[in-house]
Amino acid sequence: MKKLTPKTHMTIANVLMGAGVVFDLGDMIINGMTLRLWPTVIAVSLVAAGAVWRYTMVKCPHCGDKFKGIHNKLPDRCPNCNGRLDKMPEEQ
């Protein structure tokens, strides 16, 4: 399997978290602004999965830095080792 770049993993994490928020908000709006238990449980699970993904899968392929403090868009180069984040080491 082709390894994904940290930028792709960041996108997956953000999509999971975004989907959770949109899912719960959508359910709330459909149900007259009341929060229901199960949709909220699903939404919280999605957000948690996104957060776990962010902190386990998003790391520098060169030095393993986890980019603490960066929550949205990753820079093109690792702030720690200056390695490229849009390419895996074997592709360079």
Q: Can residue 79 be called a binding residue for Zn ion (CB under 5 A)?
A: no
Q: Can residue 58 be called a binding residue for Zn ion (CB under 5 A)?
A: no
Instruction: Bin 31: left if φ > 0, else alpha if -120 < ψ < 50, else beta.
Output: alpha
Q: Can residue 75 be called a binding residue for Zn ion (CB under 5 A)?
A: no
Decide whether 32 or 69 has the Cβ nearer to Zn ion: 69
Q: Can residue 62 be called a binding residue for Zn ion (CB under 5 A)?
A: yes
Q: 3-state class of 69 per DSSP?
A: coil
Q: How far is the CB of 6 from Zn ion (least distance, A)?
A: 9
Decide whether 3 or 36 has the Cβ nearer to Zn ion: 3
Q: How far is the CB of 4 from Zn ion (least distance, A)?
A: 16
The residue ranges that bind Zn ion (CB under 5 A) are: 60, 62-63, 65, 78, 80-81, 83
